A and B are shown apart, each in its own frame.
Chain A
Amino acid sequence: MIRTEALTKRHGEIVAVDDVTIELGDGLTAIIGPNGAGKSTLLCAIGRLIRADAGRVVVGGLDVATTRSRELAKRLAVLRQENHLPIRLSVQELVAFGRFPHGGTGRSPRDRTHIEGALDLLGLDEVRDRFLDELSGGQRQRAFVAMALAQDTDYLLLDEPLNNLDPRHAVELMRLLTGLAAERGLRIVVVLHDLNVAARYADDVVAMREGRVVAQGAVEQVITVEQLTDLYDTPAHVVEVEGRRVVLWQ
């Protein structure tokens, strides 16, 4: 379980995350909200990529601020939105870095199993020896997700993982994530822009606006005309197509 208590993060005058206290449970949680709502900041603060100014974050019983980073990395993997590498690496080399928290060099049988598994799950087997800068944006994105999976954690935080992915790969990735959540009990938190994806795959939806959590609950409770119209300041339509909620804008 991920819990934040009065979490606050300021960027100068702007309060990016404003006194947020939430609990994120099992399965796949989607964080939605307009630009600048503080979704990424919240995710990064939970993943200790940025230090909160106030409040605390507890992930699986571990206080993020005081637990050794290495220990945390065995429990929690976090992936940011932009993943630009200063050095040249092949897909396989990148994924092997996921074994670092476990003290692995990427060569032990156990490491290999995890690396192979991650490459396989993300369909990267064929490009494993290619350099990342030779790949398409989508393949690169999947390579980073594979690294996070090779980390073999209980918690996975992803910031807009569908960026750069075409519909096929976006659907495949979301299916993979929900599959991992269901089969391995992986707890996943994703920042999503596409509400239809959130409505289709999320177990729990957190809506943020101006640094605050304005709604949290199942898809039926959050993906509603009133909530969305209010959240995005734009008249929304929510229709049901084949039993799923689909959001249209006016």
Chain B
Amino acid sequence: MAEPTVTERGTRPAGGTTSHAPARRRVRFGGGARIGLLGALAAGAVALYLFHDLPERWQYPMDLRTRTVAAMLLVAVAVGVSTVLFQTITANRILTPGIMGFDAVFMAIQVFTVFALGPMVLLAAPPLVSWLVELVLMSGFVVALYWGLFLGRRLDLHVIVLAGLVLGTVFRSVTAFLQRLLDPDTFAIVQNLAFASFTSVDRTLLLPTALLVLAALASLWPIRRSLDVLSLGEAPAIGLGVEHRRVVMHVIVVVALMVGASTALVGPVMFFGLLVANVAYSVVGHRHSRALPAACLIGLIALVGGQWFLDRVLGFATELPVVIEFLGGVVFIVLVLTGRAR
């Protein structure tokens, strides 16, 4: 990541009475400029992915690539925003909806549907209808489950981590168990769902996913100022007049919808959110007005840039999610070991 660390030195915090002794390293400086830079990088990555190495008969590859980029953009926004928000309400830097098993719930419900109603469900129902039904079911379930976990009682981080890991494992095991009971044909169909894939998304889902993500983003607008206060922790936020329960509930719903939208579109990605959120914090700091767009842009750069690298440089050597999950896992371990995850 091109992080302009050199330019910080000797600069003063923007907009303050700054007659004070040596300007310290400040994340506040140039946040806007950094987001601009990230935006330029993202645009560059998209252009590279779309136009580099385009064959003479470009229509079909172009169509395919556009679809992939669109899916990646949606996933980058959904995962970036949901992770940053989730970390805000849980006041930590290592938990993500993925690690807490949100997407495992989604997979379990999907597989259970196939198991209970047969594989024809996936093929017979119009994709949009099944998408909508799945999303409502899964989001409702996730909200109910985690609402019960987070609110109404005071749990410390370790309990939440444990609960999340256990629940995630439970849902993944249920999924694996049900898969074993399926006949081979159905299994093949289900197996396809279980791995994230950006290059084979259903075109008809792009527009509804985009609408959903946009609607979720728009719903955040009225509480945008409260989000920063929320990251101070529960008691200070209440003291400063944030309607804590209401705002946290709102955020959980938004997170569930976004994770659901992303999982329904491309499949589960576990550590990706962790990766983009933490890179975003270190580049622009914790203010949501900066961290949210930065997380989305970094996600887009990682996905599109990574896919380009794997496709055109390594020649389709491996699947992108494998690499992303590997890097995310490394970041996770580093965060735990350096004790920055509190």
Contacts and interface: CB of A to CB of B under 8 A. Distances in A.
Interface of A: 44, 47-49, 68-74, 77-80, 83-90, 92-93, 97-98, 100-101, 107, 112, 116, 125-126, 128-131, 148, 151
Interface of chain A, helix or strand or loop or mixed? Answer: mixed
B233 A86 contact: yes
Contacts of A73: 239-241
B20 A87 contact: no
Interface stretch (B11-19, B253-261, B307-315): B11-19
A92 B239 contact: no
Contact of A69 (B13, B243, B286): B243
A87 B231 contact: yes
B149 interface: no
Given A73-B239, A78-B239, A128 B20 contact: yes
B26 A129 contact: yes
Contacts of A74: 241
7 contacts: A49-B239, A69-B238, A69-B243, A71-B241, A86-B92, A97-B232, A97-B240
A68 B238 CA distance: 11
B13 A100 contact: no
B286 to A, nearest CB: 4
Contacts of A88: 27, 285-286
How many chain B residues sit at the interface, stated as a range, is 20 to 34
A41 to B, nearest CB: 13
B121 interface: no
Contact of B238 (A48, A112, A125, A131): A48
Nearest to A47: B239
Nearest to B21: A126
B286 A87 contact: yes
Interface string B22-39: 011011100000000000
Q: Which of B26, B240, B242, B342 has the most CB of A within 10 A?
A: B240
Interface string B228-272: 110111011011111110000000000000000000000000000
Given A86-B91, A86-B92, A49 B238 contact: yes
B9 interface: no
Nearest to B241: A73
Contacts of B203: none
A79, A84, A87, A101, most chain B CB atoms within 10 A: A87
A131 B25 CA distance: 10
A48 B238 CA distance: 8
A126 B95 CA distance: 35
A128 B228 CA distance: 19
A129 B240 contact: no
Contacts of B233: 84-86
Nearest to A102: B241
A100 B236 CA distance: 11
Q: Which 7 A-B pairs have the closest CB atoms?
A: A73-B241, A70-B241, A86-B91, A101-B241, A87-B286, A69-B241, A78-B239
A100 B233 CA distance: 15
B20 A126 contact: yes
A100 B23 contact: no
B335 to A, nearest CB: 13
A92 B242 CA distance: 20
B231 A100 contact: no
